[in-house]
Each structure stands twice: as C-alpha cells, then as structure tokens.
Amino acid sequence: MSGFSVTEPGARTKWVAGSLVILYALITMMPLVWIMLTGFKSPADAISYPPKVIFDPTLEGYVNLFTTRTRQTDEFLAANPPETWYEEIVRQYDMVIAGPSKFGERFLNSVIIGFGSTFLSVFLGTLAAYAFSRFRIPLADDLLFFILSTRMMPPIAVAIPIFLMYRELGLSDTHLGMILLYTAVNISLAVWLLKSFIDGIPTEYEEAALIDGYTRFQAFYKVVLPQAATGIASTAIFCLIFAWNEYAFAVLLTSGTAQTAPPFIPTIIGVGGLDWPAVAAGATIFLLPVMIFTVALRKHLLRGITFGAVRK
Amino acid sequence: MTQAPITRAAEATPPTVARKIRGLSDRAIAWIFVGPTIFLLLAINIFPLIWTINLSFTNFRANRPNREVEYVGLRNYERILTDTDIWLNMQATAHFLFWTILLQVLIGFALAYLINKKFKGNDLWTTIIVLPMMLSPAVVGNFWKFLYQPQIGLFNYIIAFFTGRDPSSFEMLGQVTLAPWSIVIVDTWMWTPFVMLICLAGLRSIPDYIYEAAEIDRASKWRQFWTITVPMVMPFLMLAVLFRGIENFKMFDLVVQLTGGGPGSTTELTSINLKREAFEKWRTGYASAYAIILFVTVFGLASIYVKALNKVKER
C-alpha cells in the first residue's frame, strides 16, 4: 500500500532523529579516530599540549612497534650510514635497529589461536546443533541449558583450576591449550546460534535425500550443510571476534610462546616512558581488521547480536 | 512406501565411507555428534568447577605444590564473608553495575528510538555506533588510559575546553572521587550499542497496526509512547539488563587495563580482587571459595531476575 501512513515519521522528525544519531556516532568515533591518528605521530606530537590534530605524519610508531632498538656511539653511527627508510627514522635518536620486536609473533599467535578455536567450535558446534535439532536426545533441554550456563562463570573463577590442570598436562602457554580453552568458551554460543539456523531449514529436504538413498551422514553433509552456510559463517565471525579480543585467560595462562596480542600491546614500552605512538600503532593494527569486518558484514552481525534476546 | 527402492538406491551409491556409516543408527549418530561437545565442556568447564569446589575447602597454595594440603572445612568461606575489605569490593562492583546499566539503558533506548525513525542511512550509522563493542576490552582500556592523561589526554582537554577548567587540575584515573566514574564512562561508551541493538529489535517487533489503531482512537503520541512502545519493549530491555548485569559482574579486562583497581582499591571490582588473591597472593584455596561465592551470587541473582522477567512477559 502506498500513500499516507500514520506510522511513517514525518520528514522533520527524521531529520532531527538523524542529526542526533549522527552526532552520537561522531562522538563515539572520536576515541577510535584519535588512537589511529596517534599511531602516525612522533612521540613529541603525541604528548603535546594542546592535543595536535594537524601534525607531520611519521611511521615512527609503526617502526618502533615492530623493532627493538639500541643506542649507539657517534663513531658507530658515522661509520654505518642508514640503508633503509626505517633505519633512517631510528637514527634521529642516535639509535640502530637491533632486531624485530615480539609484536609480529604475538599477532601471529592471535591469528593461529583465533582461527584454530573458531574452526573447532564451529565444527563441533554444527555437529551438536544438528543432533539437537533433528534427533530426539534424552534430556535435550537440560543439556542445552547446561551448555549455555557454562557461559555465566567468571573467567577468573574457571582460570584457577585450569591453570593447575594445564600445569599438570603441560598445556600451559601452548597454542593447543588456548585453542581448546577458547573452543570450550565459544561452543555454547555456537551450539545455540547454529541450532536456531538448522531449525529453520525444513526437514523435507533431508527426508527426500534419505529416500533417494543418501545415508544420514550424506544427507547432513550434502543437503543440510550448504543450506546452513550463512548461519555457520555468522557464528564463525562471533567465535573469531571473541577469541581475538579475549584477555583474562590469555594474561593468566600464557606468558611467552602462546601469548596473544591483547596482553602484549599494553606492555609496549619505549625509552623513557610509555611509547604512545607505538602502542597506538599496535592497537590500530589489532583493531582495524575487526572494524572492517563489522562494517562489511553488518547485516549478519547485527542480527546475530540481537538473536539471543529475540529468540527466547 | 516400500523399503525395496531405498535399499536398491542405497546400493547404487558407490562411496565406501558411507557404507560403513550406513550401519549406524540415528541414535548412534546423535551421540557421535553431541559427544565431543559434551566431553569438551565437561573437561574444561565442569571438571574445573568441581575442582574449585574441592579446593575451596583446603588451604592449598598453587605456588607451593609440594606443601601438604589440609582440609579446613568452611573456614575460607567464613573468612570471606566476614572480611570488611571484600564488602568494599562488592560496593565498588555495585556502584559500577548500577551506573553502567542505568546509563546504558537510558542512552541505548533513546538511540534505538531515534534510529527506528528510519531516517536515510540509518543502518550505516548504526554500524558505526556498534563498533566499540566489537573491540578488545583490554586494548580499549589501554588506549582510554591515554585519553584520560591529565595534561595531554584528549578527554581532559575536551572537558577543560567546555568547562574552562585547567586540564591538568583533575585526574580521572588518579583521584578517588573520579576513578569510579572513569570506568563507568568507558563501559558506557563501549556497551551502550548492545542495549541499543536489543531495544531496536524490540521496537521493530511492534506491529504497525497497533499504532494505527491507537491513532484511530485519537491517542496522543505521548500516550502511545507510554502505553504501547514502553511496555512492548520492556521484555527486551530487561533481557539487555540481564546480559549486561552478568557481563559486568564478571568485568575484568577493561578495568584492569584502565585503573588496575586503583587508586587504593576504589575501582577494585570483585573479579580484580579475586585475581589478586588467586594469582598474586597465591591463596588458591581461599580464592576458590571466593570464586564459588561469586558464582553462586550471579546465578542466584540471575535466576530471581529471570523469574521477574517471565512475569513481565506474561503480562
């Protein structure tokens, strides 16, 4: 039906509502924009008063983030002229690059643990969700509630025995240990989200496939999985974001080889105090993928967040 | 339908793997599919919980594994419940919970209400508003610490710009009176979008015909708001409060990075206090009892709340 509708807001209402929301959005973006700008400032510009909006951009923060540096004597510096642009940046402070910093490793750990645990939770979650959706499982409701209730425990409370358990099993500070732990945390959400997606797929398709001679397993693999693909993808995004952002377990259970970026970034320290441009550069590199993801996949993500509330 | 064509068709399908699995009943497949998930949850959630309960009756210290462990009965619980410092942590947590939830509900609902006016480009702006809640709380806490710096921080500069005060005259993170508010501000900045999204789902679930009927009855917009919009969104809003309540009761990463619990212990929320007991003072048995008390508190409060919520839904 076209034409006048009493529920459609007037043009002026829309204008006022739009301006207020945009104003809030701009205020909310300020800290994020500021941290990205700070990543391109020199340490002096980063701590200047009043705060500088216009400044000479430099990659110093990024160079400092990825390298370790040492101070050298004038003779040494004169004898070894800088060969690369990043070496040149460091030379302004009479320093030379001594080697790569640990940021690259920590970032890689975040990637490995994030994707590893996401794959495992979505894989196990899909199987469990399919079973809960299609088969009659004794005590299914109790099991589902049990699966969800594990999310209510404070991470620190769980961390005490896991710390002890991992120490016994040799899983402390290992990628496998962290992948298993994040999978255990994520799987409850994965099962609930995926079950709702699979519930939405009519059973007739599978029944037809079964009659055509597919085994139950084939029917699951060839008929249900392709139809659940969108649901699986958006569940995967949620699992990935959780694992990517997690801090409490990471800071308590890892210290070196398997440490992820969130506990590492705040520990970046420059010469003579906190190196804010380097910290900001690290935060930018770490947060930007999530932001781009969010904007690109907003349709699926926003639906997923409200899912829990709308569903029950 | 007869069995024969199915069997014949099945024999016509070549894969050998399928043949092996064909023998499995649906029941077996169900357990194979659910089994790994249940096993993982038992190993990494339930077993640790039982272990924590067990530890809570001992004087075990994780940094001295060779020391003999004694069972001390309920002494850990007794000590925690009579400790006045822990009540201070509880108060700090309550302050944090109350103000973050109040602010997030007010701002979140208002934003959802405005976005629901369906102005042009509203979905893009919604996404931008949602960005903070997608980010790592620890990293967010760390860079807010930069914004809160007394002389150089952007936050202090902006407040000073609008109030005319000297930007180095107040320290958001360093003053006992301001620190509890500094964590409320960041949490509100970060999680208002969550409440907003749930309210938006609630607003969009209200069918147009209800407003049309009200319009025909010549109910004023004001009246429509209080008799249709608010009651219809209430169950959603209450769920949002439940989720935020549970999450903020567990709050650790953001606040640890911002204030570390200080100054003094003004922002030492229970989770931070628990971490101190467990992983700095290494009083494992005591901390286990503490963890159980917190866990029971969350569970108890959440169940009471869910009961109330169901009553609202029934209406």
- CB of B269 within 8 A of CB of B184? no
Are B232 and B84 in a shared domain?
yes
**Residue B167 at interface with chain A, using a CB cutoff of 8 Å:** yes
- Which residue type, as a one-letter code, is found at position A103? F
Per-residue model confidence as pLDDT tens for chain A (312 residues): 444 566 678 888 889 999 999 999 999 999 999 999 999 998 888 888 788 888 888 888 898 888 888 888 888 888 888 888 888 888 887 788 888 888 999 999 999 999 999 999 999 999 999 998 888 877 777 777 777 777 777 788 888 889 889 988 999 899 999 999 999 989 988 888 888 888 888 888 888 888 888 888 888 888 888 888 888 888 898 899 999 999 999 998 988 889 999 999 888 876 556 788 898 999 999 999 999 988 888 877 777 766 655 554
Question: Could you tell me which of B46, B16, B204 has the C-alpha nearest to residue B116?
Answer: B204
Residue contact A32–B167, C-beta within 8 A = no
Which three-class secondary structure state does DSSP give residue B233? helix
Give pLDDT, residue A272.
Answer: 58
Are B46 and B87 in a shared domain?
no
Residue contact B40–A184, C-beta within 8 A = yes
Give pLDDT, residue A6.
Answer: 62
Give pLDDT, residue B66.
Answer: 77
**Range of the structural domain that residue B224 is part of:** 78-314
d(CA A213, CA A226) in angstroms, rounded, equals: 19
- Tens digits of per-residue pLDDT, A28-47? 999 999 999 999 998 888 88
Tell me the chain B residues in contact with residue A43 when contact means C-beta distances shorter than 8 Å.
none
- Which residue type, as a one-letter code, is found at position A273? G
The CATH number of domain A104-267, selected from 3.20.20.70, 1.10.3720.10, 1.20.1090.10, 3.40.640.10? 1.10.3720.10
d(CA B213, CA B202) in angstroms, rounded, equals: 19
Are B14 and B111 in a shared domain?
no
Return the ∠ at Cα A98 (arms to A96 and A100), rounded to 5°: 125
Among candidates A34, A213, A306 on the partner chain, residue whose Cβ is nearest the Cβ of B6: A213
Are B160 and B38 in a shared domain?
no
What predicted TM-score, i.e. pTM, was given to this entire model?
0.87
Are B50 and B85 in a shared domain?
no
Q: How many domains does chain B have?
A: 2
Whether residue B72 lies inside any domain: the answer is no
Give pLDDT, residue B4.
Answer: 56
Per-residue model confidence as pLDDT tens for chain B (315 residues): 445 555 555 555 544 444 444 557 778 888 889 899 989 988 888 888 888 899 999 888 888 877 778 888 888 999 888 888 888 999 999 999 999 999 999 999 999 999 998 888 888 899 999 999 999 999 999 889 989 988 788 998 898 889 888 888 888 888 889 999 999 999 999 999 999 999 998 898 888 899 889 988 888 889 999 999 999 999 889 888 988 998 899 899 999 999 988 788 889 998 999 998 888 889 889 999 999 998 888 888 888 888 888 887 776
Are B126 and B246 in a shared domain?
yes
Find the residue in A nearest to B40 (Cα).
Answer: A184
Are B86 and B228 in a shared domain?
yes
Among candidates A8, A244, A294 on the partner chain, residue whose Cβ is nearest the Cβ of B127: A294
Domain edges within chain A: 57-101, 104-267
The token pair at A63 is: 């160079």
Residue A210's CB is within 10 A of a number of other CB atoms, namely: 18
Return the ∠ at Cα B293 (arms to B177 and A243), rounded to 5°: 75
Give pLDDT, residue B13.
Answer: 53
Residue contact B30–A131, C-beta within 8 A = yes
Tell me the chain B residues in contact with residue A264 when contact means C-beta distances shorter than 8 Å.
none
Classify residue B178 by burial, with Cβ atoms within 10 Å: 0-12, 13-18, 19+: middle
Find the residue in B nearest to A126 (Cα).
Answer: B33
Are B34 and B182 in a shared domain?
no
Residue contact B40–A180, C-beta within 8 A = yes
The token pair at B119 is: 């102005």
Give residues 189 to 248 of B whose Cβ lies within 8 Å of A: 189, 194, 197-198, 200-202, 205, 208, 211-212, 215, 236, 239-240, 243, 246
Question: First-to-last CA distance in chain A?
Answer: 32
Q: A interface mutation test: which of B58, B61, B117 has the most A CBs within 10 A?
A: B117
Tell me the chain B residues in contact with residue A186 when contact means C-beta distances shorter than 8 Å.
none
Residue contact B291–A162, C-beta within 8 A = no
Are B186 and B274 in a shared domain?
yes
Give pLDDT, residue B19.
Answer: 45
Q: Enter the ipTM.
A: 0.86
Are B10 and B139 in a shared domain?
no
Residue contact A153–B295, C-beta within 8 A = yes
Whether residue B308 lies inside any domain: the answer is yes
Are B145 and B272 in a shared domain?
yes
Classify residue A13 by burial, with Cβ atoms within 10 Å: 0-12, 13-18, 19+: middle
Residue contact A180–B119, C-beta within 8 A = no
Are B127 and B216 in a shared domain?
yes
